[in-house]
Amino acid sequence: MSDPSSTPPSENVTEFQRRVYAACSRIPPGKVATYAGLARSIGCGSPRAVGQALKRNPFAPAVPCHRVVASDLTIGGFMGRREGEEVSRKRGLLEAEGVRIENGGRIKACCLFEFSLAKSEMPAYEHPHRSGD
């Protein structure tokens, strides 16, 4: 599996996850986005939901979930972990791509990718089990 948009719908990848993976795929090497920024870009109000989708990413490394970090520009989690070997691996992947990380573990603001989609390009995600509020 390498491209979420060309994979037939299945029970394993939800429409929400596909939207998360498609947005994440837009983050270029050497840049990072925040969970909150990615959530906003798809019209979702929950950075945690984005994190949960990325934790289940079956398209890595084509969908570069390691390029999504916490809002305070710290590394955040990776592969469902908040510390340890997995997070060290995420840091290594980011540094190998040219992301600059300060001594305190924060990513330099110059490496932040900002999504700039018009709403018409990617409509807000509507939860399939909720009616319009």
Q: To 10 degrees, what angle do helices 15-24 and 47-55 make?
A: 90
Residue reference for tokens 């972990």: 81
Residue 4 confidence (pLDDT): 58
Per the residue annotation, which of 24, 44, 65, 111 is the catalytic one?
65
Which range marks the domain in which residue 82 is found? Answer: 15-111
8 in a structural domain:
no
Residue 133 confidence (pLDDT): 45
Examine the pLDDT at 50 and tell me if it is beyond 50.
Answer: yes
Examine the pLDDT at 132 and tell me if it is beyond 80.
Answer: no
59 in a structural domain:
yes
In this structure, the number of other CB atoms found within 10 A of the CB of residue 43 comes to 14
pLDDT digits 0-9 by tens, 3-38: 555 555 555 899 999 999 999 999 999 999 999 999
53 in a structural domain:
yes
Q: What is the domain-level CATH number for residue 95?
A: 1.10.10.10
For Cα atoms 21, 39, 133, give the angle at the middle one, nearest 5 degrees: 120
Residue 82 confidence (pLDDT): 87
| Burial (Cβ within 10 Å: 0-12, 13-18, ≥19) of residue 116 | exposed
Higher-confidence residue of 121 and 46: namely 46
* Domains held by the chain: number: 1
Annotation says 65 is catalytic:
yes
pTM over cut 0.85: no
